[in-house]
Amino acid sequence: MPYPIAKLPYGLRCRLHKIATPSERYHLQVAAGNPSICPPMQALKGNWSFRFQYQDGILAMSNNDLDYSYVTATIDLDRDNFVYSGFEFAFFNANLEDVSQNSFDRRFHSISCMFLENCDLSGALFKKLNQTTVFSNAEKVKIAGNTNESYLLNFLDVISAFPRMRVFSVDRTVFADTWITDILQFKKHRLTKLYIDSSVAKLKSINVDDLIQLLRARRECFDLHITIRDRLGPKDLQIFNSELGELFNGRLLLDDDDLADCCPKYLDAMVIVYTYSYPGRQTSTWCLWKPGREP
């Protein structure tokens, strides 16, 4: 429902327009339900398919969701008059100084997905992302690579930075072994899908009690996708799958019959494990069924 901004005195509305940032002006227009409420109108550029990327001090825009090298236009936030909106904002090879520019909140209205590739990750960088409203509201976060050898990716930092995050993907990035208990510290986290890399040894070392607690913590079905980067021969793969069964000890059941697709409402969670063996990628799905709903 629009707010009664139109009932404010015209002079006050003009004053609001003058002191507000471009993004705040656009929010005023949306709140009022009338773009002409505080003239001149603040224009918005972008839609759900637009992607933005920042690298080496250059901000660029693209509407190609498959190729990051395809750039539609470069953007000068200090000179143009637009407010921007889009699906994804990507930082490439960025550090704390890069993400600390105050023009991001001034010029961006909404972003659904944050992507950090080969960035200099740190606790301070995630705190700064959290302080930038348009970034902290992202519901999907992808991290691929970390150039800071002194920092081990901590899920506490990530969830604190992105409290609305529903999907989190970690690729080619070493993270703390405490990732399960780190997530459990956030009683009201919104995660429903988590994608991580692992090794055979790291996966076999997890605490299954903590894992089950994590998987049951959400009211809606939780999907955990684990990609094993070790290359396994056919015999190694058979041994690994047998060891997974022993690890889960009947609490997670292997879904050989694709029952999860037929009865999703009876599921609490799925753990989907991807392994690489001849002739290609293999997938095993382990289901955590609701109590009393086991097949």
| pLDDT tens across the length of the chain (295 residues) | 456 777 778 777 777 777 777 777 777 777 777 777 767 777 777 766 678 888 888 888 876 555 555 566 787 777 777 877 888 899 999 999 999 876 788 888 888 999 999 999 999 999 999 999 889 999 999 999 999 999 999 999 999 999 999 999 999 999 999 999 999 999 888 899 999 999 999 898 899 999 999 998 876 788 999 999 888 888 888 899 899 999 998 889 888 766 666 666 778 889 999 998 766 788 889 998 887 666 6
pLDDT at site 83: 78
Considering the domain architecture, whether residues 34 and 57 belong to the same structural domain is answered as no
Over its C-alpha atoms, the chain yields an Rg (Å, rounded) of 23
Per the structure, how many domains does the chain have?
3
Q: Which two tokens stand for residue 5?
A: 């901004």
- Residue 286 near residue 270 (C-beta atoms within 8 A): yes
In contact, 141 and 158? CB cutoff 8 Å: yes
Has this prediction a pTM greater than 0.95? no
Of 176, 211, 242, the last residue of a domain is 176
Spatial contact of 92 and 117, defined as CB atoms under 8 Å apart: yes
Q: Is residue 29 part of a domain?
A: yes
Phi then psi dihedrals of residue 226, to 5 deg: -120, 120
CA dist 291 and 195 (Å) reads 25
Indicate if 26 and 60 belong to the same structural domain.
no
Residues 35 and 61 in one domain: no
The whole-number pLDDT of residue 1 equals 43
- What the block records as the tokens of 150 is 């002194």
Backbone region of residue 57 per phi and psi (left: phi > 0; alpha: psi in -120 to 50; beta: other values): left
Task: Tell me the C-alpha distance between 178 and 180, whole Å.
Answer: 6
**What domain range includes position 1?**
1-42
CA gap 273, 230 in Å, rounded: 12
Domain shared by 25 and 113, yes or no: no
On whether residue 182 sits in a domain, the answer given is no
> 58 with 169, same domain?
yes
Residues 214 and 256 in one domain: yes
Same domain membership, residue 80 and residue 34: no
* Predicted pLDDT of residue 71: 62
